[in-house]
Structure 1
Amino acid sequence: MWSRFFGLGRRSFASLSEQEVLALAIASEEDDARIYLAYADTLRAQFPQSARIFEDMAAEENVHRERLINRHREKFGERIPLIRREHVRGYYERRPDWLVRNLALEEIRAQAERMEEQAHRFYLAAAQRTEDAETRKLLGDLALQEKAHESLARRLGDRHTPEEVRAEEGATERRQFILTYVQPGLAGLMDGSVSTLAPIFATAFATGSTHTTFLVGLSASVGAGISMGFTEAAHDDGVISGRGSPVKRGLASGIMTAIGGLGHALPYLIPHFGTATTVAIIIVFIELWAIAWIQNRWMETPWSRAIFQVVLGGALVFAAGMLIGSV
């Protein structure tokens, strides 16, 4: 680990021979083509137009690789030295394929543009490392192709994903985000904020003990979070409904449920009962406002209806808790 962190055991780029520079370029083009195909596989189901972008980019990287291999064969023969990016100190790194699965569409496009910019700088530096005219010309041509006018990702994007397609893909991405994270998270926040009002405030007014109230609130919040998380993950695998990974939905629902309950349980860490209750009530109003905002922002629920639903439900549960606790 330490040798990798400090670059020990790696070659400096300046120490590479012309043959090793060509070998490094070949390996880099192979890696980039695989990464672009991984991007295409990730996007194909939901964003077929963008997937075509990365398939074309992978095809162009393969053309670059073939030109480099041909040049190596002419100059050095058939055996290509095994040298990869991780063997060279200071060389740009690439994220492994399995790390690209959860990247957003625009982040993938931006990553592709960064990859091209890095490849452009590499070919410029590599061209300076050779005195052979043909090799220098090849590396210079590849540098120009990587940087020509605008990035390949943007040029192919204009060809395959015009504005109306980008808008449609953006809407699809937003809808998927809502189905996977916002809806389960909102349901959890509402359950955690509203359903724990009654037991927490019933305990508070029944016992007058901040310590007891906090323990009840903590147990109710954590228990509800675990229950909501497992329920969300278990009841729908997301394959037919298209709601996404059950693990992601379960985590979103469970975490937001616990947060909703802990919001008005944590104030009872304050020893003074009146102060703790006042702070808890203020936080309840903040939680209810946050729920209404999320409904309006992401679920497109009108403000009037969102506020009415949340305030009415919260007020009824809060009143039930106070009434039961005062008996």
Structure 2
Amino acid sequence: MKNFSELSEQELLALAITLEEEDNRIYTAYAYRLRDDYPDTARMLTAMADEESEHRHHLLDLYRAKFGDFIPLIRRQDVKGFVERRPVWLAPTLGIDKVRDQVGVMEAETRRFYLRAAQQSRDAAIRQLLGDLAAEESRHETRAGELEATLVPAGVRAQESEAQRRLFVLQIVQPGLAGLMDGSVSTLAPLFAAAFATLNSWETLLVGLAAAIGAGISMGFAEALSDNGSLTGRGSPLLRGLICGAMTTLGGLGHALPYLIPDFHTATALAVAVVLVELGLIAWIRKRYMDTPLVSAVLQVVLGGVLVFLTGILIGSA
């Protein structure tokens, strides 16, 4: 690995060509990944990829004039000082805000590279081109905002934000909410049945742990196997399964853990309080993300929870 200051002018140009090729392909990849959900932002990214391709052609023309046709392969990872880029474009899900942030970072980094390379070069033609490209990258940052304003007007941006919200609801909120509801409600009956049958905190805790973990494993597999997300847009089945399973377990553990308290009556009072908090949280999530009126959400969740709770008490007290 070389220090930046050790690069020759030939190597500086070769590295610049590689960087422009990389940026062009990244923007193209972003555009390809976003084309279905965010078509206007995809057009903006395609326009930026075309500009990077134009920069590359300018660099190639000067390189051939100075050094011939052979271009050594020099990449950012071969030179000390470059910030390592996380392969965001390879992530299973690609948030539009993350893409826009990454684009800004890429443009700023490329501009700094050209400024330093121009300062290091002693060849007038190379120095001029690198300086021009630094200025172009600076304008590119501004142009990215202009392109976004032109190709992604306010109404479209609002639509894309709404589309992103819908994807978040489909891929994260829905499986998480399903798990939390199942874990918080379905485990009430076995937990409180055990509680009132044994009047023993430790034994009740064991039943609660078994119910919570077992339900989490079951719900996780059920969600992951429900569909692969290719047609429904619900995203990675593995991610959905993990979210659903984790939230199911968490929902069941919430009212099981109070039975760590040895005193049975204190533990039961605390467990009932936790159940009320869980049901309130579920109702709020349904209102916030599922557009369910708060009164309807509270009635649906609380009514179901109370029925299961009473079922557990009746069975345990029999």
TM tier relative to shorter chain:
over 0.9
Moved more, 150-159 or 65-74: 150-159
Distance in 1 separating the partners of 2:72 and 2:226: 53
Distance in 2 separating the partners of 1:244 and 1:232: 12
Q: 1:211 aligns with which of 189, 196, 202?
A: 202
Distance in 2 separating the partners of 1:149 and 1:192: 51
Shift of 1:149: 7.5
User: Which amino acid letter does the alignment assign opposite residue 209 of structure 1?
Assistant: N
User: Once superposed, which parts of structure 1, at least 4 consecutive aligned residues long, lie more than 4 Å away?
Assistant: none
The answer as to 2:248 corresponding to 1:224 is no
Tell me which residue corresponds to 1:80: 71
Shift of 1:120: 0.7
Shift of 1:153: 2.8
Tell me which residue corresponds to 1:172: 163
The answer as to 2:242 corresponding to 1:251 is yes
User: Which amino acid letter does the alignment assign opposite residue 131 of structure 2?
Assistant: G
Tell me which residue corresponds to 2:33: 42
User: Which amino acid letter does the alignment assign opposite residue 25 of structure 1?
Assistant: A
Q: Return 5+ residue gaps in structure 2 as ranges.
A: none
Tell me which residue corresponds to 1:157: 148
Structure 1 pair 178–38 and aligned structure 2 pair: CA distance change class (3 A): same
Distance in 2 separating the partners of 1:74 and 1:308: 77
Tell me which residue corresponds to 1:64: 55
Contact 2:92 2:236 survives alignment (8 Å): no
Tell me which residue corresponds to 1:235: 226
Shift of 1:49: 1.2
Structure 1 pair 17–145 and aligned structure 2 pair: CA distance change class (3 A): same
Contact 1:210 1:269 survives alignment (8 Å): yes
Q: 1:281 aligns with which of 272, 281, 297?
A: 272
User: Which amino acid letter does the alignment assign opposite residue 62 of structure 1?
Assistant: S
Question: What is the total number of aligned residue pairs between the two structures?
Answer: 318
SS at structure 2 position matched to 1:14 = helix
Contact 1:40 1:51 survives alignment (8 Å): yes
Moved more, 267-276 or 166-175: 267-276
Normalised to the residue count of structure 2, the TM-score between the two structures is 0.96
Distance in 1 separating the partners of 2:136 and 2:60: 17
Contact 2:26 2:89 survives alignment (8 Å): no
Moved more, 45-54 or 89-98: 89-98
Distance in 1 separating the partners of 2:211 and 2:202: 14
Structure 1 pair 229–100 and aligned structure 2 pair: CA distance change class (3 A): closer
Structure 1 pair 99–149 and aligned structure 2 pair: CA distance change class (3 A): closer
SS at structure 1 position matched to 2:43 = helix
User: Which amino acid letter does the alignment assign opposite residue 91 of structure 1?
Assistant: F
Percent identical pairs in the alignment equals 57
Tell me which residue corresponds to 1:18: 9
Q: 1:188 aligns with which of 179, 188, 195?
A: 179
The answer as to 2:97 corresponding to 1:106 is yes
Contact 1:113 1:151 survives alignment (8 Å): no
Distance in 2 separating the partners of 1:65 and 1:129: 20
The superposition leaves residues 273-306 of structure 1 with CA deviations (integer Å, 9 ceiling, x where unpaired) of 2222122111111101110110111011111111
The superposition leaves residues 74-105 of structure 1 with CA deviations (integer Å, 9 ceiling, x where unpaired) of 11111212211001111133233653442310
Shift of 1:236: 2.3
Q: Return 5+ residue gaps in structure 1 as ranges.
A: 1-9
Contact 1:116 1:151 survives alignment (8 Å): no
Contact 1:42 1:101 survives alignment (8 Å): no
**Pairwise CA RMSD of aligned residues?**
1.5
Normalised to the residue count of structure 1, the TM-score between the two structures is 0.93
SS at structure 2 position matched to 1:128 = helix
Structure 1 pair 147–58 and aligned structure 2 pair: CA distance change class (3 A): same
Tell me which residue corresponds to 2:123: 132
Distance in 1 separating the partners of 2:92 and 2:146: 23
Moved more, 82-91 or 150-159: 150-159
Contact 2:93 2:235 survives alignment (8 Å): no
Shift of 1:150: 4.3
User: Which amino acid letter does the alignment assign opposite residue 28 of structure 1?
Assistant: L
Distance in 2 separating the partners of 1:68 and 1:112: 21
Q: 1:145 aligns with which of 133, 136, 139?
A: 136
